[in-house]
Structure 1
Amino acid sequence: MDDATMPTGPVLAGVDRGGQEYVVRCAAEQAALHQVPLHLLHVAEPGGTAAAAEEVTAPFERLVRTEFPGVAVTAETAAGRASAVLVERSERASWTVVGHRGSGGFARLPLGSVSWQVATHAAGPVIVVRPGDTPPDPERRVVAGVDVADTSPISSRALDAAFVEAALRGASLELVHGSFHLGETPTGPGMTAPDFQILDEAVRAALREEADKRRDRYPGVPVRLHAERLRAATLLAESSRGAALLVVGSHGRSGLRRLLLGSVSSEVLHTAACPVAIVHSAHPH
């Protein structure tokens, strides 16, 4: 996802009743950064009235026009199952933005909730944002989770997206790798611990290599490497504090890329202290 191949469709924001201004602001900021329109989509149960639907979308449209006057905004109400409609519409969007909470049971993102389904199955990248995720003045820092053992196109695409988001925000980029495996710890007589210094240096070398691959394309993005022998999801949650955005790929090393989120991506949706961008496949545009 470099500047030449970035999708140019609108940012799609799923909105509902119940104080989701935080979702709209995040989506509008994303549209402003990428210089694309914003489309607000409210999915209502069949049988609702047009007036009731407009009561949901009209205040959000006014918010965008007031606070983000440079963003072209449209709004729509569609009937159906929210997750299915948002996933279908994501095929024409550059990004899809959804809230962590809402009337669909978003509080803990249980399997089957709207946010979970969209984060898992959307055609392009998704941002999941919760109330209070973004402080009034976040640090100019984007965090990217990097699995140095995962060389898949999805992992590479997520890292490309992180560089793009840092460049657009004039932010630094923190490449984070966490690894802690019980198998690394000797448990029996005569067992010898691995040379952690060698392992740690190999991780840092792999992170430097990933950064160097993109340095010419993003010369203005300062990059910091952060590797610790700590659970990846725990380290990412800690690193996300105060950050503008956390970017992760959508599947772990299990390879269930279109069926489940990876275990790390899944956990950080619950624990991250900033909006989480899920990048999981080449965009159809």
Structure 2
Amino acid sequence: MVSTGNPVVAAVDGSEHALNAAVWAAEEAQRRGAALEVVIANDDPARADYVDKALHQAADRCREHAPGLRVTEETLSGYAADELIRRSEYAQVLVTGSRGQGGFADALLGSVSKDVATHGHCPVIVIRSDRASTTGPVVVGVDDSSGSRAALRFAFDAASQRGCELVVMQMWREEGLLAVPLPPEDRQLVQDAIERSLTEQTAELRRNYPDVPVGHVARRAHPVAALTDASADARLVVVGHRGRGGFQELFLGSVASGVLHHARCPVAVVSDPESR
């Protein structure tokens, strides 16, 4: 990727989990040729000393891990989710831990991370594990919606940056709790159609990213379960902010929300610029 000049933003809260997320963000900034902004939100002046210490610790950890990386640090005054959403307006990506711990635990609890993933203006990457893998493929879930096309572009870029395989997954199932399973012959027709759809969805990007080996997976399965299983061996899972299906009215789609809760690797939630 050619850097836009905008930074990668890492949100921290003083927990070890958030420190690990900040280090992950430092590596992402290096891959992108971008600066790193380490930020912490504080809506309680009584915590100022704690906040300053936590912020400096995180920024110093990033500098040690990525010598030569330009790292800045800033305290944001206000509620964490609101401030991070505002900061996402000019970030390339915003990286958070999935939860907070310790004396400032309420700054990045799961609810805050979910709020930022729901309303962020840039791709939001939630670090689900203290030991994020540096091996394995990038995995992306698609459904041929405009949101999943934005996620697919992001995933190709991420795989190219990392020099790894991209696995593109599209799942299908009979809709509705009372849906009758399709007979085998109809099931095969759907399977064939999904496989053709995957080839069509990735055709242009495969031409634009000839360095990225691409695997297609079309599967009759629940998308959250299938992407969660794939996350066990992945270095990053990418999902669209919203997709097709019965939950389009939600701000954060049911698939994105489910993967955020259950994936075993970092998860990137990519919103569709056309929907904003």
TM over 0.5: yes
What is the number of equivalent residue pairs in this alignment? 265
1:195 aligns with 186
2:36 aligns with 38
Q: 1:255, CA displacement in angstroms? A: 3.4
Equivalent of 2:142, from 138, 143, 146? 146
Indicate whether 1:238 and 2:205 are aligned. no
Which residues of 2 match residues 122-271 of structure 1 at below 5 A?
A: 122-132=120-130, 134-135=132-133, 137-139=134-136, 141-148=137-144, 150=145, 152=146, 154-181=147-174, 183-185=179-181, 195-253=186-244, 254-256=247-249, 260-271=251-262
Equivalent of 2:60, from 55, 59, 62? 62
Once residues 119 and 4 of structure 2 are traced to their aligned partners in structure 1, the CA distance between those partners, rounded to angstroms, is 18
Equivalent of 2:117, from 108, 116, 119? 119
Once residues 107 and 46 of structure 2 are traced to their aligned partners in structure 1, the CA distance between those partners, rounded to angstroms, is 20
Once residues 206 and 184 of structure 2 are traced to their aligned partners in structure 1, the CA distance between those partners, rounded to angstroms, is 36
CA offsets, 1:152-209, max 9 Å, x none?
2x221111000000000001000011122263516xxxxx565211211111111111
Once residues 4 and 143 of structure 2 are traced to their aligned partners in structure 1, the CA distance between those partners, rounded to angstroms, is 25
Structure 1 gap ranges (5+): 187-191
Contact 2:126 2:267 in 1 (8 A): yes
Equivalent residue of 1:41, what SS? Answer: strand
Once residues 36 and 66 of structure 1 are traced to their aligned partners in structure 2, the CA distance between those partners, rounded to angstroms, is 17
Q: 1:7, CA displacement in angstroms? A: 4.3
**If the length of structure 1 is used for normalisation, what is the TM-score?**
0.86
* Shift in alpha-carbon separation, 1:177–1:184, aligned structure 2, 3 A: farther
Which moved further from structure 2: 264-273 or 47-56? 47-56
Once residues 106 and 179 of structure 1 are traced to their aligned partners in structure 2, the CA distance between those partners, rounded to angstroms, is 34
Equivalent residue of 1:144, what SS? Answer: strand
* Shift in alpha-carbon separation, 1:247–1:8, aligned structure 2, 3 A: farther
2:78 aligns with 80
* Shift in alpha-carbon separation, 1:49–1:263, aligned structure 2, 3 A: closer
**If the length of structure 2 is used for normalisation, what is the TM-score?**
0.89
Q: Which amino acid aligns with 1:169?
A: R
**Percent identity for Structure 1 against Structure 2:** 36
Structure 2 gap ranges (5+): none
Aligned-residue RMSD, C-alpha: 2.1
Once residues 86 and 98 of structure 2 are traced to their aligned partners in structure 1, the CA distance between those partners, rounded to angstroms, is 19
Q: Which amino acid aligns with 2:10?
A: A
Q: Which amino acid aligns with 1:47?
A: P
Contact 2:129 2:264 in 1 (8 A): no
